[in-house]
Chains A and B, each alone.
Chain A
């Protein structure tokens, strides 16, 4: 594909995918009253796209992806608690915390397949255990959780989350239509051939890894700001990683629309089940996930392709 064609496609993706999605989430709070639900949708859209950046384009599945989310949330909170930083500055600190964690963990990229997935899971657990250790109560509030009543501003935080969503989508549109994104997919398919074709494998996968860490850190920081009262297990909940992964895989990775539709459909069902008893809810959701994986192992994408629909 020539670069002119890539640019034209990119413009189409911006106009027909990015703009409508972002506009919808900018307008919805005026017509729909459950703001927390809308916010959660934005969070999962961003996380699913973050998974898309690293898993969809390079084939690395970070099962402990939530570690970056938690690092972002705590980076934000600690700066607000100890330095009384304004939220937007603290947001940068949250992003930096996730980025630093990502840099520390780059050696894990030498692992493949499930080794990598489990190693990141362990890494996320280590960070959660350190933060929730009672000996660090003076620094991180330990297991007692964070209270940020001073900066509580859900409306503002929601708008920032929508901006982060827009930036994330912009990045995915770029990956989908650029040489760099193509190089990453070559790494995913066969790292040895990719490097022989002149792709700098180590550089490519490291950039994708740090980008996805940055995305999760940013949205984690906004999450901390929005809910402003949380515990270590809230922001290091393995379930968040798994949700983001399931949503992205179900919709189809290495596309722009895939993760979006995954979140829209599955998180929509999740919120629509409407059973208050947690264990019956868990039973239905677990069964649903198993059925999806068993009967649609490659997500929605092959289905749509069979019907001749080319997914952007």
Chain B
């Protein structure tokens, strides 16, 4: 039981890290809260569903397809929404409202297109043989999703810490105004980060039918709130802190589901509120008010 909860928790932790990663990247780089994050995840899920049922594309191969497609959507969407926002008096707060509007629009369009019923992709397309680790059995789809999430996290790490554009991106994250004055094209860097963020959400969406069991057009808000729980635990604005938050969330969730299932939905929030009251900036955070 213990081993099962722990390993399943780590697998889900990787997946939750992937869910939160993009949201945290956007917040870190442009100080904007994308409340439509969960809706982009939902769209990614429906893209995978559509590719699978109509074109017979295995979700594994859908991952690179949706990644590129959503990165390409994110680029112009950034220029459409964010610079205008940053001209206002209180962009962080206004972004919550703007992206709430976007979330409503996406959810409405998805409902018009797909109705309100649940959609799923059979789990055995990611491998029919369950995996055995420490005498415990796990569905292949969980393992594949966990590995895919780990690969995406590793790629984001490489992007941020091993490439020049990542170096510049981190410069914008830590001091936006100074980055601007040293001649960094802040908008181009931000647009790229926005595109990558949507792409990560969409990849998480491709895996969503396996990890959540099914997808529905209205799932966006709940997913966004889960992502917040994950990134606040890990610290807002620190993309790799997300992984810590995701792990804590995943393991806590699995232990709760194993030992006290009817309280399972509660624990992640309790962990979150405890962390917030004791360490308001999250586990890795530094940023507090001066007064």
Interface pair A279/B108, CB less than 8 Å apart: yes
Contact of B33 among A117, A133, A279 (CB under 8 A): A117
CA A119 to CA B265, docked complex, whole Å = 18
A17 sits at the interface (CB 8 A): no
Contact of B263 among A105, A135, A288, A298 (CB under 8 A): A135
A23-55 interface with B by 8 A CB criterion: 55
Query: Given A125-B225, A289-B100, do A133 and B105 touch, yes or no (CB 8 Å)?
Result: no
CA A8 to CA B98, docked complex, whole Å = 39
Interface pair B108/A117, CB less than 8 Å apart: no
Interface pair A283/B97, CB less than 8 Å apart: no
A-B contact count (CB 8 A): 159
Complex: chain A residue closest to B278, CB-CB: A107
Contact of A63 among B96, B101, B263, B288 (CB under 8 A): B96
Contact of A118 among B85, B100, B228, B263 (CB under 8 A): B228
Complex: chain A residue closest to B107, CB-CB: A282
Residues of A near any B CB (own CB < 8 A): 55, 59, 61, 63, 104-105, 107-115, 117-119, 121-123, 125-126, 129-130, 133-135, 187, 191-192, 194-195, 201-202, 238, 242, 245-246, 249, 278-280, 282-283, 285-290, 293-294, 297-298
Contact of A110 among B228, B269, B280 (CB under 8 A): B280
Chain B: residues with Cβ within 8 Å of the partner, total of 51
Contact of B97 among A113, A130, A201, A249 (CB under 8 A): A249
Chain A to chain B contacts (Cβ below 8 Å), 29 pairs: A55-B93, A105-B277, A107-B280, A108-B277, A110-B280, A110-B289, A111-B289, A112-B289, A114-B96, A115-B280, A115-B281, A118-B236, A119-B232, A123-B273, A125-B225, A126-B273, A129-B269, A130-B266, A191-B291, A192-B290, A195-B291, A245-B97, A282-B105, A283-B108, A283-B109, A286-B101, A290-B81, A293-B98, A297-B87
Interface pair A114/B229, CB less than 8 Å apart: no
Contacts of B101 in A (CB 8 A): 285-290, 293
Complex: chain B residue closest to A142, CB-CB: B262
Most B CB atoms within 10 A — which of A111, A113, A123, A293? A293
B117 sits at the interface (CB 8 A): no
CA A225 to CA B129, docked complex, whole Å = 56
Contact of B269 among A126, A249, A297 (CB under 8 A): A126
Interface pair B97/A293, CB less than 8 Å apart: yes
Complex: chain B residue closest to A283, CB-CB: B108
Interface pair B277/A107, CB less than 8 Å apart: yes
Most B CB atoms within 10 A — which of A112, A115, A130, A297? A115
Contact of A191 among B229, B270, B289 (CB under 8 A): B289
Per-residue A-contact encoding for B269-291, CB less than 8 Å = 1, 0 else = 11011001100110000011111
Contact of A289 among B33, B97, B107, B273 (CB under 8 A): B97
Interface pair A290/B281, CB less than 8 Å apart: no
Contacts of B94 in A (CB 8 A): 249, 293, 297
Interface pair A282/B31, CB less than 8 Å apart: no
Contacts of A123 in B (CB 8 A): 273, 276
Interface pair A297/B112, CB less than 8 Å apart: no
B221 sits at the interface (CB 8 A): yes
B55 sits at the interface (CB 8 A): no
Contacts of A130 in B (CB 8 A): 266
Interface pair A111/B288, CB less than 8 Å apart: yes
From residue A296, how far is it (CB to closest CB) to chain B in Å?
Answer: 9
CA A298 to CA B87, docked complex, whole Å = 10
Contacts of A278 in B (CB 8 A): 111
Contacts of A133 in B (CB 8 A): 262-263, 265-266
Query: Given A119-B276, A119-B280, do A283 and B105 touch, yes or no (CB 8 Å)?
Result: yes
What 10 pairs across the A-B complex have the smallest Cβ distances? A286-B104, A289-B101, A297-B88, A283-B108, A191-B291, A290-B101, A286-B105, A282-B108, A126-B269, A279-B111
CA A55 to CA B102, docked complex, whole Å = 23
